[in-house]
Amino acid sequence: MGIRSKAKKIRQLLPIVGAGGNVQASAPKSSTAETQARPQATPPVLPPSAAPSHPPGAQDPQEYIDTVVKGHPVVLFMKGSPSQPMCGFSANAAGILQTYGALHHVDILLDPEVRQGVKEYSDWPTLPQIYVGGEFLGGSDILRQMHDQGELAEVIEAAGSTE
């Protein structure tokens, strides 16, 4: 079996990650009776501070992003939430920021316009993105570097992070 055959077989066994969550590519279809017999899972109720933020209604994404960035001392635009990050970089950034206390996050997976809009707002092509005191700080790598050098605490303190 060649390397491409092995890779194809592995892809068939791995979950597909994307819009709608994890879906098993090779999962057998269950019968209607089995589906009806299973109890339906209810989504967890998040406390207000853990609830993701996303634009209400038809608000312009740029206006929404500006309002969020200027309205909170520390904002993390990330994939997922701090309690359930959807990528390693977002998990890293959320973990670092949580050690400093209050953190407002925006799950960019909930709205494609916000996901693209935040990249345009900062003129930075990657996510996650961190804003402190209304200013763009950078991504996960910059956050890690500032944390390791002890600079992040000073920046957050200067921003008055008492959310």
Residue 147: per-residue pLDDT: 95
- Which pTM was predicted? 0.66
Output the tens digit of pLDDT for each of the chain's 163 residues.
555 555 555 555 555 444 344 444 444 444 444 444 444 444 444 444 444 455 556 789 999 999 999 999 999 999 999 999 999 999 999 999 999 987 999 999 999 999 999 999 999 999 999 999 999 999 999 999 999 999 999 999 998 854 4
For the domain that residue 129 is a member of, what is the CATH number?
3.40.30.10
- Is residue 46 in some structural domain? no
* Residue 79 structural domain: 61-159
- Is residue 51 in some structural domain? no
- Is residue 10 in some structural domain? no
Residue 160: per-residue pLDDT: 82
- Is residue 39 in some structural domain? no
Total structural domains in the chain?
A: 1
Q: What letters, b where the CB count within 10 A reaches 16 and e where it falls short, cover 124-158?
A: eeebbbbbbbeebbbbbebbbebbeeeebeebbee
